[in-house]
Amino acid sequence: MIPVSKPYLPNREKLQKYIDSIYENAWLTNNGPLMQELTRRLEAYLGVENLLLVSNGTLALQVAYRALGINEPINGEPAEAISTPFTFIATASSLKWDNIEPVLVDIDAKTWCLDPTLVEAAITPRTRAIVPVHVFGNTCEVEAIDAIAEKHSLKVIYDASHAFGVKHKGQSVLNYGDAATLSFHATKLFHTVEGGAIVFKHKADLERAKKMINFGIASPEVIDEQGINAKMNEFQAAMGLCVLDEMERNISSRKEIWHRYESALADKYQLQALNSDISYNYAYFPTVFESEEKALAFQDSLKANGVVARRYFYPSLDQVSNQNFKVSGETKNSQSIAKRILCLPLYCDLDIDEHVLPFLNE
């Protein structure tokens, strides 16, 4: 079976050395030396400052909301945050979890990212933030979104779960907005088995978030924030350090596979239109079909040949009836893309010429 994604497993001997150091130090969590090292190395690798490691990507979003104060009610009513329906459920559910009402706005039909031309119409007196998503690592129109936020005094938290290493106009896309969050789940381009990170624009927000992820503790006898346990442990950090050492190999392999797909499929199916200013990370290969029926038939055909393709993201979040997300305007683009999309297998060292491409032409 060829899965749609496969965790990258780094050199086992190197990982064992890190684990040996954990045993020697007996320091398993609470800002251990490996977590500190990973923080420094990620800041250098990504070209960012004020990076905070956390235990998963969903908590990264939730801590960012609270550190930036967008969860506070307005006149007794929940604050609102404008976001996209074409994303993983955690983007919107993490807002709901913190009593922030997501207001879903449609996506651009070509880039599949939040359409900034629709954002201002969704702003109300309760709007506190915009939460766009760099979908499949494709960068949003960050200048336009940040300009709208500045005009209306809103915070911007970018869900950059797919955007590890992505650059916009030569700099890390994580430097845009008031915060950007990353997921380091096992299936991501870079992973720590489970984990995540927040990159803050301002150091003061980072310092507040540091206390929040450790129960709000400022010192052994002082608790001055409402906190939670969202710390990354040393075993997660050890995996992250090993994976980071091998990032160039991982990305190089994915890039080659991505371009093989593009060459074989660009004339047959709709592909995502990448931002012209992007330096891409080749984390995903999504393909859109003429109709939902053709997408499902294609998925079944691949499955019959031992190849898994995922409907990612499906359904469009405005169609998840039990969540009752607020919607601004129509979401035709999101609904249409969500019904017709499949992500094809993409991971390091996958031989698509033998295991995938022959079945795409059947």
| CATH top class, domain 12-244 | alpha beta
The whole-angstrom separation of Cα 154 and Cα 151 is: 8
Q: Which residue has the higher pLDDT, 222 or 86?
A: 86
> Quick one: average pLDDT of 127-137?
98
The whole-angstrom separation of Cα 68 and Cα 91 is: 16
Predicted pLDDT of residue 219? 86
Say whether pLDDT at 150 is over 70: yes
Question: pLDDT tens digits for 246-284?
Answer: 999 999 999 999 999 999 999 999 999 999 999 999 999
List the 341-343 sheet strands across, edge first.
Answer: 270-271, 286-288, 341-343
Q: Is 162 helix (H, G, I), strand (E, B) or coil?
A: coil
Q: Which residue has the higher pLDDT, 220 or 148?
A: 148
172: enclosing H helix or E strand: strand 171-172
Looking at this protein, which amino acid is placed at residue 38?
L
Regarding the domain delimited by 247-360, which CATH topology (the fold level of the hierarchy) does it fall under? Aspartate Aminotransferase, domain 1 (3.90.1150)
The whole-angstrom separation of Cα 84 and Cα 182 is: 17
Instruction: Write out the two tokens for 56.
Output: 């998963």
> Quick one: average pLDDT of 120-148?
98
Say whether pLDDT at 171 is over 80: yes
Say whether pLDDT at 70 is over 60: yes
In this structure, what are the phi and psi dihedrals at residue 171, rounded to the nearest 5 degrees? -125, 160
Cβ-contact 52, 210 below 8 angstroms? yes
> Quick one: average pLDDT of 299-321?
96
Q: Would you please indicate which residues are annotated as catalytic (active-site) residues?
A: 188
Q: Residue 9: which residues within 8 A CB-CB, separation 6 or more?
A: none
Which DSSP string do the residues of 311-360 spell out, in sequence order? Answer: -TT-S-GGG-GGG--EE-S--HHHHHHHHHEEEPP--TT--HHHHTHHHH
Handedness of CA 263, 316, 350, 58 (dihedral sign): positive
The whole-angstrom separation of Cα 289 and Cα 337 is: 9
Say whether pLDDT at 293 is over 90: yes
Question: pLDDT tens digits for 331-355?
Answer: 999 999 999 999 999 999 999 999 9
The whole-angstrom separation of Cα 343 and Cα 328 is: 27
Give the β-pairing of 101-104 and 80-83.
parallel
Query: What's the pLDDT band for 156 if we cut at 50, 70, 90?
Result: very high
Say whether pLDDT at 136 is over 80: yes
Residue with tokens 């330096």: 279
Looking at this protein, which amino acid is placed at residue 306?
G
Domain residue ranges of the chain, discontinuous segments joined by + = 12-244, 247-360
Cβ-contact 36, 210 below 8 angstroms? no
Say whether pLDDT at 321 is over 90: no
Reported pTM:
0.97
User: How many other C-beta atoms can be found within 10 angstroms of the C-beta atom of residue 200?
Assistant: 25
Predicted pLDDT of residue 322? 87
Mean pLDDT rounded to a whole number for the chain: 97
The whole-angstrom separation of Cα 64 and Cα 181 is: 8
Say whether pLDDT at 362 is over 80: no
